[in-house]
Amino acid sequence: MKPYLAAAIQMTSKPDLEKNLAEAEELIELAVRRGAELIGLPENFAFLGKEEEKLSKAQEIAQKAEKFLKTMAQRFQITILGGGFPVPVKGDPSKAYNTALLVDPTGKELSRYQKVHLFDVDLPDGNTYQESSTVMPGTKLPDIYSSQDLGNLGLSICYDVRFPELYRHLSGQGVDVLFIPAAFTAFTGKDHWQILLQARAIENTCYIIAPAQTGNHYARRFSHGHAVIIDPWGLILDDAGQQPGMALAEIDPHRVKQVRQQMPSLQHRIFV
C-alpha cells in the first residue's frame, strides 16, 4: 500500500439516468485532475427516484451503470466504486438488489456487494421509506479486496453504517479503507451521519470514504450531503458540505500503522 489521493463524490441525483451519469462523469474528471486514484460514487448515483420507477427501469439502469463504471475506470485509469444501483433479481421482477461495484483501471470487476440492511423506517418528519418493497436484501457479508497499491478495501452501503458487526467482519479481514456510500436522509443525517462514520473509523482504526447524495431529488426526498473522508483516528480530513462536489484527501498507510500502534484496540478484543 502506498500513499494516494481518494475522492468521495457528492451528487444530487434525479430520476434521470442520462443526466446523472453525465454529472457523475464531470465530477470524476474533476477528481482525476486533482490527483485522485481511488474514487467513490454515492448510493443511487445513476438514478434516484420513486422506488417503483427505479424498479421498472432496473435492467436499463444496471446495464448502463455497470458499463459507465468500467468506461470511467479505463478512460481515467482509476479504481472506482459505484456506491449503489439496482440489479434485477433473476426470476423475481418485483425486486432488485441494491448493488455496489468496485472496478479497476482495466475495467475489471474487483468486488461486488449486495446491500444487506434495508431502510424500512417511518421518520418523524412525515417521510416513510420502505426499501424492502422493491429491494431484495443480500445474503452475504462483504469481503475485502486486497490491493497492493490501495490497501485492503471493504464495501458497504448507507444504512449498513448502523450495524457495526458488518464492519467488525471486515476489520477481522484486515481492512484499511471502508467505503460507506450513501443517500442519507436529511432528517437523520443532521444528527447521525458524521458521528456514525467517525465511530466506524475509530473502532476499526481505518479510513472511511463516504460518498453522499445531497439536496432535493424529487418531491419531498432530501439528502443530507456532507460526503467525507475520515482518518483512522476519527478526524474529518475533508467534507464536501451541501453542494455537489467531492471530499478529497490522502490515504496514508503510515497513518494506519501509527494509529494502530497508539491505540491497539483491535488486538485487545475478547469476544471475537
Q: Which residues are designated catalytic?
A: 43, 115, 158
| Distance of alpha carbon 60 from alpha carbon 56, whole angstroms | 9
Q: Are 73 and 104 in contact (CB under 8 A)?
A: yes
The single-letter code of the amino acid at 149 is D
φ, ψ of residue 169 to 5 degrees: the values are: -60, -45
158 SS3 class:
helix
| Distance of alpha carbon 190 from alpha carbon 224, whole angstroms | 7
φ, ψ of residue 14 to 5 degrees: the values are: -125, 180
> Rounded to an integer, what is the distance from CA 7 to the centroid of its chain?
11
> Rounded to an integer, what is the distance from CA 68 to the centroid of its chain?
16
CA neighbours within 13 Å on the CB side: how many for 132? 9
Look up cell 444487506; give the residue. 116
Ramachandran bin of 107, using left for φ above 0, alpha for ψ from -120 to 50, beta for the remaining angles: left
Sequence-ordered list of residues with C-beta below 8 angstroms from that of 74, at least 6 positions apart, any chain: 105, 106, 107
Sequence-ordered list of residues with C-beta below 8 angstroms from that of 26, at least 6 positions apart, any chain: none
> Rounded to an integer, what is the distance from CA 267 to the centroid of its chain?
27
> Rounded to an integer, what is the distance from CA 244 to the centroid of its chain?
15
